[in-house]
Structure 1
């Protein structure tokens, strides 16, 4: 393919991605900046357009996502953990186990394979889970599809619970001028980019699975929580990161993958409601244990996107710091514990398949 044609195709992809992201954002769809490019790249891929995201660009996007997770770890979050560490720890463990149970159900029902079920059912961090899934051999496309389908269902459900069941109407977010973040402070931004570069270099040397995201995340979290560095991620950097991730995932879709994903939607939606119900038990635990109001407890344990849940919490008059602290700690825990949960479910799936094959061979004899 000529350089001119490739540049023209990339320009077309950027334009379509921007239009789709804008439409999704206008419709208040969660993660619109990532989903728009992903849908656009999927359409280009299914149409036979041969484009590919460079590996270094994808690695840089992973590192930025790691820093984005690290930003949520603040002194206030650590203070909340110190004051109420046992109830928060118990509910976080409960929610992680609930995600594993839902993944197990998906395996037993034959909806998706073990590793894909483990990462797709993981409660929180959709972008992070999609990135880590590929590093551990799962189908990144199905994981992303499962994660963002669940996010959409969870956000709608949380809004409905807030408005109908608990009597709180969600206030629309205040109008804000569109900003690229070009006025971001130069020194913190430069140091943040240095953290990203150092994390990527260290991950390349150590060859840790998903290290391109995990090592910058741990380094940035330590600096951010200690107050040594204010991690700065301007809008233009986040938009470029989400676009890169969306294109990388979308370009890997095939007609077969799309057909399988569409057929699995009913079972995946049911699995999402099962996870919401299991997380509801954790909300009841917080209400009974700490006396937290039901809405705050529900939103704190909701297995959806952190940003979307916090917006709902802010517009519903509930305990936003508590919701933020609980969601942040769970996100960090899921990213760190996710590989172990995935390994356990993969071993179970492999053992189950082995038993089935052995039984089939005996029957054949």
Structure 2
């Protein structure tokens, strides 16, 4: 495939993403600039449209999301760290339950081999689980489709549930006011850009999980708490990042057969539903004991992607730091523990 052909496919995917975002925004769907592109490109992938994921744009867009998430960090948050202790203590129990339930579904209902079922069931990051699963001898395509479908289903369900049934607004990309390109100063642009570039670089060198979003988020949080900058990135940049993320998620189904997609989405729908039921139970307990809002605790336990769940949290006006930290710990814990658990289970069984 020539370079011009690849660029044309990526351009078509982005065009579908923008169109899907506009339709979703006009229709009043929650989180339209991510859900719209996701749905549009998933449909296009199933229909074998000549599209390709704009993966190179991810390198530039993800840090923007990190900087935006960091802008929601305030000094008052540090006074609430004590209320997070119970959530942190309960999180490993939830992860064990979620992984165990999912493994049983993929193994017993889906008929996956033990390696593929194990790494498809782990509620960690897609890329990390794909790498670990491939090294262990699992089916890479099935692991990738399982995680892509899980993220897709959970984001759609959570956004639609909160937006349409609970009445929590997620429209327009953010609950914050529109920030125009000329509404912030050159100094603000410089600081935010440094947070994005330097944060991503440092996080990658340190080997932190989800480095492109985690590093910029941490530096942006420090900059905002210190008062060096008081604004978030321009809204147009944030929308562009959301369209890119949604488009990439949708294009992950490229090349999969209809039968594969039907099977994997069906199994992921079952595991996602069971995970979300467990998340509701754990979140209700946390909310009752600590006073953390139920919606916030539920978002912390919902096993979607870090970037996507953090965006949902921000657009719902919940505590971004709380939810982001829980998802960072979830992903880190799964990456660190999964290989050891797998080796132990393989020797034992």
Q: Same fold (TM over 0.5)?
A: yes
The CA distance in 2 between the partners of 1:19 and 1:244, in whole Å, is: 12
Q: Which residue of 1 aligns with 2:93?
A: 97
Indicate the RMSD between aligned Cα atoms, in angstroms. Answer: 4.1
Residue 333 (str. 1) matches residue 333 (str. 2): no
Q: Which residue of 1 aligns with 2:67?
A: 67
Decide whether the 8 Å contact of 1:30 with 1:151 is kept in 2: no
The CA distance in 2 between the partners of 1:68 and 1:256, in whole Å, is: 34
Please list every run of 5 or more consecutive structure 1 residues that lacks an aligned counterpart in the other structure. 121-128, 163-168, 313-319, 357-365
The CA distance in 1 between the partners of 2:45 and 2:288, in whole Å, is: 51
Q: Which residue of 1 aligns with 2:337?
A: 344
The CA distance in 1 between the partners of 2:127 and 2:30, in whole Å, is: 18
The CA distance in 2 between the partners of 1:309 and 1:203, in whole Å, is: 22
Would the alpha carbon gap of residues 103 and 29 (structure 1) be closer, same or farther in structure 2, given more than 3 Å must change? farther
Larger Rg: 1
Matches of residues 309-324 of structure 1 in structure 2 within 5 Å? Answer: 324=318
Decide whether the 8 Å contact of 1:115 with 1:342 is kept in 2: no
Query: Shift in Å at residue 299 of structure 1?
Result: 1.4
Residue 183 (str. 1) matches residue 182 (str. 2): yes
The CA distance in 1 between the partners of 2:86 and 2:180, in whole Å, is: 38
The CA distance in 1 between the partners of 2:274 and 2:181, in whole Å, is: 43
The correspondence for 1:301, drawn from 297, 301, 308, is 297
Please list every run of 5 or more consecutive structure 2 residues that lacks an aligned counterpart in the other structure. 111-115, 134-139, 303-308
Query: Shift in Å at residue 284 of structure 1?
Result: 4.1
Decide whether the 8 Å contact of 2:201 with 2:215 is kept in 1: no
Would the alpha carbon gap of residues 132 and 328 (structure 1) be closer, same or farther in structure 2, given more than 3 Å must change? farther
The CA distance in 1 between the partners of 2:331 and 2:262, in whole Å, is: 26
Superposed CA deviations along residues 294-316 of structure 1, whole A, max 9, x for unmatched, are: xx74212223545556766xxxx
Matches of residues 36-75 of structure 1 in structure 2 within 5 Å? Answer: 36-42=36-42, 43=44, 47=48, 49=50, 51=52, 53=54, 55=56, 57-75=57-75
Superposed CA deviations along residues 322-363 of structure 1, whole A, max 9, x for unmatched, are: xx23x631322321441222342343345445555xxxxxxx
Query: Shift in Å at residue 50 of structure 1?
Result: 6.5
Decide whether the 8 Å contact of 2:71 with 2:224 is kept in 1: yes
TM-score between the two structures when normalised by the length of structure 1: 0.69
Decide whether the 8 Å contact of 1:46 with 1:253 is kept in 2: no
The CA distance in 1 between the partners of 2:314 and 2:231, in whole Å, is: 20
Residue 17 (str. 1) matches residue 10 (str. 2): no
TM-score between the two structures when normalised by the length of structure 2: 0.72
Q: Which residue of 2 aligns with 1:143?
A: 147
Query: Shift in Å at residue 27 of structure 1?
Result: 3.8
